[in-house]
Amino acid sequence: MYLEHYGLGEAPFRITPHTDFFFTGANRGATLEALLYAIIHDEGIVKISGEVGSGKTMLCRVLMERLPDNVVIVYLANPSLSRADILYALADELGIAVPDNSRAGTVMRALQETLVSLYAEGKQVVVLIDEAHAMPMETLEEIRLLSNLESNRHKLLQLVLFGQPELDETLLRADMRQLRERITHNFSLEPLVRDDIERYLDFRMRAAGYRGPSVFAAGAVKLIADASQGLTRRINILADKALLAAFAAGGHQVGAKEAKAAIKDADFATARPRRAAPPLSAGLAWALGGAVAMLALIGIWRMFDQTPAAAPVAAAPILPPPSSSAPASEPAPPPPQAIAPLPAAAEPPPPAAAEAESTEKPGPSDTPMLDKLLEQSQPWLAALTPKRWFVQLYTTTDSTQPGKVEAFLRQARNAGLDMDLLRVYHSDLGKVSRFGVIYGDHAERKDAVKALEALPAELKRYRPYVRQTVRLMPASNTGKKN
């Protein structure tokens, strides 16, 4: 409707992935290059995670275009398949004719024979699985078995998983540890910060054919940044509505008035998702199962029947999903450094009985170190400047269980870490509420890298990484626990 008004050749803010509009800023371009390197030169499973609307599908589509000609691409857009169905889907994509009533073992053998043949022709097969967080558990297990297909020296199948943070949580289950250890590269798409959003808006306009001065005023950019929470899909929706509002008013500049109209029209800008009751965690389920088995063994079921319904049940903490975000926007690092293999995620240290987590929210006395560090960290968080560097030690996406953070802090102290350099923040992004533990404060990235390399081995198992304060500033808040 407004294309001619702004001199555009096509709509600049469509929410469908259009690879001509791929934004290489905010480390997206560096992530793409690292992905290409990892897929072509490595043999492990690659995982890319990000919030809803963060640009995972766009990255996947661009990746498909950039892979070399010798790569045979299998793209699965709907992974909600059973364990057998995903084998049939792969066979179909590779042109393998198998009878509908074939057993899974028969299909697997046919797949292996075809993969060996393609490998002999100098071809590499890459399976890109979008929305991988929707995969059933048994299908994920089949993915692990597929990763076993190999020749004498090389893997025959490269697997790439794109998913929301729920995928990270699924992989933390005890029965998923074998698959988790086969993931050699983890990438994360972080929300855009305000400066990135300003460049993103201008880039999309010019990619669509615009040739004039910047359309979005500084006030409009700030409002869109706040309302979108840095998620590209939301940015696109708000920018499109704001352009339409400016067009309706007969203007060519999008200011605060037009941005506010767009925000008002988009419910997601102010509405927070209703927070559902937390599901029964794997650790809690294990604890309950173990308790029932023990009671059956010693024959005191009646005692179990008399247990008050409201009594909290202790559960071993579950390792939070490793944060593997790319560092802050800066000149793209060389691919080998960007995709350096990470060790398998560590299991969390079991806290003492008095510190074990329960289904009820613990009081302040249950997390004394966390409470103290949250309070002590506030002056530093309030005085943040965007050009400092630190080490992200630990992140949990379940802020209703601060006992996990408390357990990690105790491990850090026992490992000899300088607790005066340790800080804790709490943040909310859409439906994700998290605690983060960070270490150090450096003017140069190289100094933060040195601090990372000097960390005790037991803490490196949590996959710490170097990060810039500009990435933390939009997320940090009062530090209060939910």
Does pLDDT of 442 surpass 50? yes
Q: What is the pLDDT of residues 252-294, one digit of tens each?
A: 999 999 999 999 999 764 444 333 333 433 343 333 344 333 4
pTM for the whole structure:
0.57
The pLDDT value given to residue 392 = 87
Q: What is the pLDDT of residue 444?
A: 87
What average pLDDT does the segment 190-208 reach? 94
Q: What tokens appear for 314 in the block?
A: 């202790």
**The residue to which tokens 């910047």 are assigned:** 214
Q: In which band, very low, low, confident or very high, does the pLDDT at 49 lie, cut at 50, 70 and 90?
A: very high
Q: Which of 297, 279, 250, 208 is nearest to 13 (CA)?
A: 208
Tokens of residue 430, six digits: 């859409």
Three-state DSSP class for 91?
A: helix
List Cα–Cα distances, 314 to 247, 281, 399, 413, in angstroms: 59, 12, 17, 24
- Pairing of the two strands 465-468 and 389-396: antiparallel
Smallest CA-to-CA distance from 29 within 475, 322, 338 is with: 338
Tokens found for residue 435: 């605690």
CA-based nearest residue to 482, from 370, 351, 314: 370
Of 365, 356, 351, which is closest to residue 313 (Cα–Cα)? 356
pLDDT at 385: 84
**Helix H or strand E segment including 162:** strand 157-163
If you average pLDDT over each of 141-155, 312-326, 358-372, which comes out highest?
A: 141-155
Q: Please report the pLDDT score of residue 404 as a whole number.
A: 82
> What pLDDT does 147 receive?
86
| Length reported for the chain | 482
Query: Which helix H or strand E contains 439, and what residues bound it?
Result: strand 432-442
Confidence label for 389 from pLDDT (cuts 50, 70 and 90): confident
Count of beta carbons in the 10 Å neighbourhood of residue 236: 22
